[in-house]
Amino acid sequence: MFRSLKSDFAIIKERDPAARGVWEILFCYPGFQALLIHRVSHKLWKYNLPLLPRLLSQITRFLTGVEIHPGARIGKGVFIDHGMGVVIGETSEIGDRCLLYQGVTLGGTGKESGKRHPTLEANVVVGAGAKVLGGICVGTNTRIGAGSVVVKNVEANSTVVGIPGRIVHQSGVKINPLAHSALPDTEANVLRNLMERIDQLESDILGLQDIVVNIQSKRKKEDIIIGESQNLRDKEIIEFIGDDLNNYSG
């Protein structure tokens, strides 16, 4: 337990520049406090005590805003940053050096028995408000974007974004676990690709129109009506994906 405590201190100092000392972490970090009490309640839970472990977890929830079932298994060096609203279910398993932000839920999807909560392997980062549901496994070195909902297994070294969560592999790239701004905007990328494809198709149609007019000399080009071409400058598109088009590579 003391080794786990030392690892918890070390990970907070490593990943939170606001941490200025041991006493500040001890008294001002609710995520650390919740984990500290959980390690006690988990020991009691393994002794099959009927009430005390759950009572400790409820006291922890009241004091810190973090709800951890005493049956959950949590590794060393886990950091719950800010912590308010975090919920960790009974059969959840969290590997070493994982990072969870506020509002994260590791929950179940029904009334099934047995393993009904997720397993996070080592070095997983779960962004604020993300939900990981069911008896699934999230592989090592995976990042889950803020607000994502993950209901399927995730391979190692992946990035998950969206609702439902979609996997974006980051092969051969070393990623800073705190670099949330580096998460890809998959929906915006899809829209960009679709709009570029539409522009290309409309350009092809205009070219075919010229060919038809040349062949049918009696037909005026003005008689062929084609709507105004869509493009990435349209107001609705800009409102969704932003006006940062200089970085778009097609």
* Cβ density class 27-59: b for 16+ within 10 Å, e for less: eebbbbbbbbbbbebbebbeeeeeeebbebbee
Residue 147: per-residue pLDDT? 87
Contact status, residue 12 vs residue 25, Cβ threshold 8 Å: yes
3-state secondary structure (DSSP) of residue 68: strand
Contact between residue 169 and residue 154 where contact means Cβ atoms under 8 Å apart: no
Arithmetic mean of pLDDT, 68-74: 92
Q: Is the peptide bond before 164 cis (omega within 30 degrees of 0)?
A: yes
pLDDT tens string 16-65 = 777 777 888 888 888 888 999 999 999 999 888 878 999 999 999 999 99
Whole-structure pTM value: 0.68
CATH T-level topology, domain 2-182: UDP N-Acetylglucosamine Acyltransferase; domain 1 (2.160.10)
**Which of the four pLDDT bands, split at 50, 70 and 90, describes residue 249?**
very low
Q: Give the number of C-alpha atoms closer than 13 A to the C-alpha of residue 95, restricted to the C-beta side.
A: 16
Task: Report the distance separating Cα 132 and Cα 78, nearest Å.
Answer: 17
Secondary structure class of 67 (helix, strand, coil): strand
> For residue 20, what are its two tokens?
């200025």
Give the chain's end-to-end CA distance (angstroms, integer).
53
Beta bridge partners of 80: 100
Return the pLDDT at 19: 75
The SS3 call for residue 234 is coil
Provide the residue ranges of all domains of the chain, joining segments of one domain with +. 2-182, 186-241
How many Å separate Cα 86 from the centre of its chain? 14
Nearest residue to 75 (alpha-carbon basis) of 50, 99, 97, 104? 97
| 150-205 pLDDT, tens digit each | 998 988 888 888 888 777 665 555 555 555 555 555 666 667 777 778 878 888 88
CA torsion, points 52, 57, 59, 63, in degrees to nearest 10?
A: 160
